[in-house]
Every structure is written in structure tokens, then in C-alpha cells.
Amino acid sequence: ARIRRYKWEVKYEYKSPDCFKKLVITINGRTPGPTILAQQGDTVIVELKNSLLTENVAIHWHGIRQIGTPWSDGTEGVTQCPILPGDTFKYQFVVDRPGTYMYHAHYGMQREAGLYGSIRVSLPDGESEPFSYDYDRSIILNDWYHKSTYEQATGLSSIPFVWVGEPQSLLIQGKGKFNCSRLTSPSLEPGACNATNPECSPYVLTVIPGKTYRLRIGSLTALSALNFEIEGHNMTVVEADGHYVEPFVVKNLFIYSGETYSVLVKADQDPSRNYWATTNVVSRPPNTTTGLAIFNYYPNHRLRSPPTVPTTGPIWNDTAPRFAQSVAIKAHRDFIHTPPPTSDRTIVLLNTQNEINGFRRWSVNNVSFNLPHTPYLIALKERLNHVFDQTPPPNGYDFMNYDIYSKAPNANATASNSIYRLDFNTTVDVILQNANTMTASNSETHPWHLHGHDFWVLGYGMGKFDMYNDPKKYNLVNPIMKNTVPVHPYGWTAFRFRSDNPGTWAFHCHIESHFYMGMGVVFEEGIEKVGKLPNSIMGCGETKGFRRP
């Protein structure tokens, strides 16, 4: 195993990813940032210099479990204090499994300012994947807002509430195209939106006819659920969140924020032209134009427009095919990790939208999550009990009486920073239950992401989870392991994991504004087994005294 060292400088720069010029956060001048390339068992060291001038930062390594290094998870308020402007912080962790992962900011709503990238972990020399391909490419899908994260965060935490709205464009590997003629504001400086700026020329994936490409596709959207397709080409899904999938073929890949997939695509169509690769919003009334990239058959010119009109994707509110794809993802037959047959504890988490003291919030079992000023990892390890609410949050909701289909005021919700403390080395089931929002006849898709773990996806259902009958239908034979799962509108999702990774782990909706509005929880397990905390994570809240020489 080797050490992979990266030196990154994070700063604000003017960029025009979709032709509209705005301040974005770059790593060494780029967004998306550099791809981390490593082999299973390698140690990754990232020395991160915060040059944001007046803003803190923290970076999360999404999908990396941080076994033995919970302080390197990069989750501000949970595993570390934020990195101050001018400071350099060293993240160090082992990438213990091959697969496709990502990294992104985990402080406020900073992720959507452009601070993100890919992590690709290959197999050790001499080992091979259960599928073959000629070339390997990483692509991150995103949505993009023109307003700053501050304007958005301020609106979300104001009375009256100001919703962020739909994104202005969709980015494919950091590139999109906003139609500048839609801008009407006379106050815009000349050149603020320029369709001919090379920074917003589309992402081009050049392929050699007859060759097979492994596309590692991740989504880090702030809000949107996406459909990804390559005109005229089938995709074979072979990996999900770092686990091999029993292969299946799709024309459309539905992908939710926080998920990664590998698909195999063969360049087997008419090679005399190029094709569109597109992203479209699903699950919300689309108000964002199609994201476009060019699937370029060599030797056609890379920017030659395909002769066709790009697709606008499947019908946005047809949940059935999305639900079907979720259910279709099973572990590869030669790589089945059998889950424990029973669990020691079941936690049911009802997802609702609420009003708390006049503020619009998201809640879980009527508790809307707030981060404490002192990170949990330090608070628990140093026994600073007073820094967060010690009353455990509820294990479930009022199953008998709660109507998931009606617009509920949910007036009795509270905001809290309490956490779930799990017995170490036990088996935990989590059931995420979706419901109606505060808008009549509306239920959204929420992709939930668990830090520090992979879990077995036991099942998905429509309607209210039935505690008696639904567990009998769990897939205990070949469930896929993932770190992010969607909860479909008015549906439920069940998964199982082992509480075997000492630390404090965030579990939250990966929609940036939803987590910001309280849609998350934190799990603690085996805190007494966590090794000595590095001084570098201290410094904020009540942790100042714990900086030791």
C-alpha cells in the first residue's frame, strides 16, 4: 500500500461554469476539484489550506468509512471544528475498499458553491473486477444556482421563509449552459453572462468506436433528482456506492444526490456522428433546462453538435420507474455479503416538513436537527455533557394515528441537537418513512446518506410501513450495500447496518437545503473505543481547552 499525498488550496474565484459568472469555490483553481486516484489499502493524505479569506471550511470524504479515523470524516459540528481562514488542516485516512466515491464541502451550504470532486479507488495489482472495460472515466452530475449560498441560507432561515427555488442549470462534470438571453436585470455588468465563454463549453466524452467505457457517475446535486441518459446507448449498471451490482441494463439511469454508480457503455452506434448525453430533473416539476454533454465518436470534431434534439427525459412525476430501479439494484452474485438475519434495534424515522416558531423546517419524528457549537466527537470523548441535549430523540412516531397522506401542520415539532446512541457492535434497522409536505398532495424524494458505514438495503415500499408484514418481505438474500438511498414520495425505505465503527456519524438527507433546515440525525457508537483525538480538530465551542501541546 502506498501513501497518496495531495496539497490543496481552497479559494473563491470568479468562474462561469454555465456561462454565468459568479464566485465559486475552487481547489487549486478548479471546480470540480482534482480526482483522487488510489488503490485499495492506500493512505490518502490531503493537506488542505483554507484561503477563503473570511470563511471556514471542512471537507467530507463521501463513502469512505474512516475506520479508526473518525476525526477525518470532515463533518463540521460532528467530527471536527471548522478549518479557519489561513489554516491548513491535514486529512489522513485509508481507502479500504475499491470503488467510486466523492468528496465535498460539509460546512453550511458550501458544497453547492462548487467545492467537490471524485475519488476513484482501484483494486490491488493483479486483482480484477467482475466485468471488463477498455477505459475508465469519472463524471459528477450537479445542479447549479446563481445566487450565493449565503443568499440561499439566509432566505431559508428567515421569516417569511424564502425558498431557494429550482436551480438555474444542470452541470455535467462542472459544465452547463444557461441561456443568457433569459437574464433581464439591467444592473448586470457586461460579460456577466457570455454564451461564448470557453469555460462553459460542454463536457465532451470522447469514445473510440467499438470500445467499452466504464463511466463512474456520481451526483452531488443541491436539490435535484436526476435522470441521466446517453442518446441511443444502453448502459449496464455494475457498481453502486462502491459495491458490485448484479448487472442490469438501463436506458435511463436515475441518480439521487450522494449516490454513485458505474455503468458500462459500448460505443456501438453509427460512428459518423456525435450523441447527446443528458441530465434532466425528475421528481420535481422541472424548471431547469436539460444538462448537455457530448458523447463524441472519434474522429468527429469534439464539439460537433449531434443532429438530433436532446431528450427532455421521462415524465417528472412518474414515480414507478424510479421505484423499479431502486428495487432492481441487487448485490452481484459473487459478492454477496449476507446481512445478519435479525436486528437488535429498530429506529423508524418519519420525514416531515414543519413550522417551528414561525420558521420553516424539516423534521424527523418531530425533531428538527441543529448542529451544536462543540462537535459531538469531541464532546462525547471529553465528556462535555452540557454541550448538547442529552435526551435521546424518539425511536419512532405515532404509527396508528399519523396520516402520511395529509397536509399536516406538525405543530408540536421542536428543534434539538440530541443524538441516537447505539450499543456498540449491534445490528440496527432504520426505516425511513416519507409523508406529505406542508403543501397539499405533495411528497418529495429524499436521498439519505449515512456516514461511516455501508448498509444493506432491505426493501422499499409505497405507503405507510407496516411493522408486522413488511419486514417479512425484506431481501435478506442478496441486498445491495450502499451509503445513500432514496426515500420515494409517500414511500418507505428500510436498511440494516452494524454499529461497528467507533465514532459519531451524521445521517441526513443529502439535499443541501433540507439538511440545512434540520433533516438529519447523528449516531454515536463505541465512543470509548475511539483513539486519541488529534488537536487539529479542536478549537471551537467548548473545545478550546482541549488543545494540548
Cis bond leading into 32, ω under 30°? yes
Q: Which is nearer to Cu ion, 259 or 525 (CB)?
A: 259
Give the residue with the Cβ less far from ligand C2O, 115 or 527: 115
| Site for ligand C2O contains 65 (CB under 6 A) | no
* 511: partner contacted, choices Cu ion, ligand C2O, none (Cβ within 5-8 A by kind): Cu ion
Q: DSSP code of 97?
A: S
Q: In this structure, what C-alpha cell is assigned to residue 456?
A: 444493506
Q: Which does 387 bind (CB under 5 to 8 A by kind): Cu ion, ligand C2O, none?
A: none
Q: Which residue has the cell 475552487?
A: 26
Please give the residue whose beta carbon sits closest to ligand C2O in the complex.
Answer: 62
Question: Does position 258 bind ligand C2O by CB under 6 A?
Answer: yes
Q: Does residue 482 touch ligand C2O according to CB under 6 A?
A: no
| Residue type (1 letter), 226 | L
Note the maximum CA span of the chain.
68
**CA–CA distance, 122 with 101 (Å, rounded to integer):** 11
Consecutive H or E run containing 188: none
Q: Is 15 in the site for Cu ion (CB under 5 A)?
A: no
- Give 251 or 407: the residue with its C-beta nearer to Cu ion: 407
299 cis-preceded (ω within 30 degrees of 0): yes
Given candidates 22, 65, 104, 453, which one binds ligand C2O under the rule CB under 6 A? 104
Stretch that binds Cu ion, among 97-105, 281-289, 414-422, 439-447 (CB under 5 A): 439-447
30 grid coordinates: 478548479
Cβ contacts of 84 within 8 Å, gap of 6 or more = 50, 56, 539
Residue among 168, 186, 165, 196 at smallest CA distance from 284: 165
The nearer residue to ligand C2O, 339 or 447, going by C-beta atoms, is: 447
Instruction: Give the number of other CB atoms < 10 A from CB of residue 318.
Output: 11
The answer to whether 76 touches 35, Cβ cutoff 8 Å, is: no
Half-sphere exposure of 208 (CA within 13 A, CB side): 6
Residue range at the interface with ligand C2O (CB under 6 A); choices 153-161, 242-250, 280-288, 504-512: 504-512
Question: Taking CB under 6 A as the criterion, which residues in 451-470 touch ligand C2O?
Answer: 451
Applying CB under 5 A, which part among 154-162, 317-325, 442-450, 532-540 lies near Cu ion? Answer: 442-450
Instruction: Tell me if 485 contacts ligand C2O by CB under 6 A.
Output: no
Determine how β-strand 36-39 pairs with β-strand 22-27. Answer: unpaired
Q: Are 493 and 349 in contact (CB under 8 A)?
A: no
Beta carbon nearer to Cu ion, 384 or 511? 511
Q: Give first-to-last CA distance, the chain, whole Å.
A: 31
508 binds Cu ion (CB under 5 A): no
Using the minimum distance from each CB to ligand C2O, give the nearer residue, 289 or 351. 351
Partner whose footprint covers residue 381, from Cu ion, ligand C2O, none (CB < 5 to 8 Å by kind): none
Residue 546 is given by DSSP the state G
DSSP-derived 3-state class of residue 341:
coil
Q: Say if residue 210 is exposed, middle or buried (CB neighbours under 10 Å; 0-12, 13-18, 19+).
A: exposed
Which of 21, 49, 106, 137: binder of ligand C2O (CB under 6 A)? 106
| Identity of the residue, 73 or 512, whose beta carbon is nearer to Cu ion in the bound complex | 512
177 is an interface residue for ligand C2O by CB under 6 A: no
Q: For ligand C2O, give the closer residue by CB, 104 or 216.
A: 104
Residue 509 within binding range of Cu ion, rule CB under 5 A: yes
Q: Is 446 in the site for Cu ion (CB under 5 A)?
A: yes
Q: How many residues bind ligand C2O (CB under 6 A)?
A: 11
Per-residue x/- mask for ligand C2O, residues 507 to 526, rule CB under 6 A? -x-x----------------
- Which spans of this chain sit near ligand C2O (rule: CB under 6 A)? 60, 62, 75, 104, 106, 258, 449, 451, 506, 508, 510
